[in-house]
Amino acid sequence: MPIDPTQPYDPSNIFARILRGEIPCKKVFEDEFALAFHDIAPQAAVHVLVIPKAAYVSWDDFSAHAPTDTIAGFVRAVGTVARELGLVEPGYRLLANVGADGGQEVPHLHVHLFGGQPLGRMVAGG
Ligand code: AMP
């Protein structure tokens, strides 16, 4: 079910529960700004989710309302994860779904990091 990105942050969402340690994840990186873990249903050889530790519903909410140091810390963390996974030289793709047309299902900002194989077309048809 796509989420409505205009709704207030819901602290019961699954990524908030992962951040609180209530649900396990396959962690690949953590710092003061971000947590990165393997997607439970990978769609590429490498499919990692990077989420801010702060509570923002979507890229829209985050870009509009997060403090500058929080945004900078998160963006740097995404880059660090890709670098630590050895994806810079072969290349990778970042994706942040927002709302219904974007297909966003979890109402806590997450950036998908795909790699480990040629990724094909930028946007799937259909
Ligand atoms: P989106 O459609 O952009 O909201 O993506 C949500 C992603 O979260 C999907 O790729 C799911 O496979 C993934 N996901 C859902 N629950 C979990 C979980 N418990 N651990 C890791 N990934 C999850």
Note whether 58 and 109 are within 8 A (CB): yes
Contact 2, 54 (CB under 8 A): no
pTM of the model: 0.97
CA distance 56 to 51: 9
Please name the residue that has the structure tokens 């962690």. 27
Mean per-residue pLDDT, 54-67: 98
Closest Cα to atom 15 of ligand 1: 40
14-115 maps to CATH 3.30.428.10: yes
Query: Using one digit for the tens of pLDDT, what is the confidence trace for 15-36?
Result: 999 999 999 999 999 999 999 9
Question: Are 93 and 119 in contact, with CB atoms under 8 Å apart?
Answer: yes
C-alpha dist (Å) from residue 113 to 5, 16, 46, 118:
21, 19, 7, 13
DSSP 3-state assignment of 76? helix
- pLDDT range class, residue 96, cuts 50, 70, 90: very high
Is pLDDT above 70 for 125?
A: no
User: Would you mind telling me the total number of residues written for the chain in this entry?
Assistant: 126
Using most ligand atoms within 8 A of CB, pick from 4, 39, 51, 113 the residue to mutate for ligand 1.
Answer: 39
As annotated, the active-site residues are 110
Q: Report whether pLDDT(126) > 60.
A: no
- In the block, residue with structure tokens 């990105």: 5
Could you tell me the residue ranges of all domains in the chain?
14-115
